[in-house]
Amino acid sequence: MTYWLEALGWAGSALLVWSLLQTRQLRLRRLNLAGSLVLVAYNSAVQVWPMVGLNAVLCVINAWHLYRMLRTRHDENTYAVVEVSPDDAFLAHVLRVHWADIARFNPDFAYAADSQAFVTLYGDEVVGVLLLRPLPAGVAQVDLDYVTPRYRDLSPGEFVFRRSGQLTARGYRQVLTPPGMVAPYYGRLGFEKHGDRYRLDLPSPDLQPD
């Protein structure tokens, strides 16, 4: 067996192991698919046909899951957005469970009692929390836009903004992100960059679709 072929086999195995250490679903599936493809090539070269079959099946499974995730990541029928009271006990529990992760990405976050809270659900699983704080002149500031690690690559929090009728019905005309956000995704949602913030101008309630 040549050195490069043996290295290919080890590389494929390493990719599979690394994929299983990922918490993000999309990254896990991509790495697992890459590792399976490498091992299909390796086992074909050394003619270990049962392992070729196994890894070929894994390729199909991973490709199917990737297709479903990428097809539905922007589908409003996939996620549900529910408004909850800022003093809701369930919301407090979710924030407490994920507090260490929240603090890692939002070290300056401070809970405000006058926030409006939205929980994003995938089925019955909580995948995100959005806290908006009302400012004068119909402006809502994003205080927290948190997504759980499993769904972080899929950005489910966007559905609160895409369903802008939820916000205009509460009198908001504009949404602002906190200053100095690191690697925000808001530019893909129609927000515009203004200094160190992103801004989304909401349509007038009269222009909302029926």
Considering the chain, what percentage of its residues have pLDDT values greater than 90?
47
Number of alpha carbons in the 13 Å side-chain half-sphere of residue 174: 13
Q: Give tens-digit pLDDT for 179-199.
A: 766 656 788 778 888 888 889
What is the arithmetic mean of pLDDT over 97-112? 85
Q: Using pLDDT thresholds of 50, 70 and 90, give the confidence band for residue 17.
A: very high
Q: What is the mean pLDDT of residues 80-84?
A: 88
Q: Which residue has the higher pLDDT, 158 or 101?
A: 101
Is the predicted pLDDT of residue 210 greater than 50, yes or no? no
Per-residue pLDDT at 182: 61
**Entry pTM:** 0.77
Q: Are 28 and 153 in contact (CB under 8 A)?
A: no
Averaged pLDDT of the chain: 86
Percent of the chain residues topping a pLDDT of 70 = 92
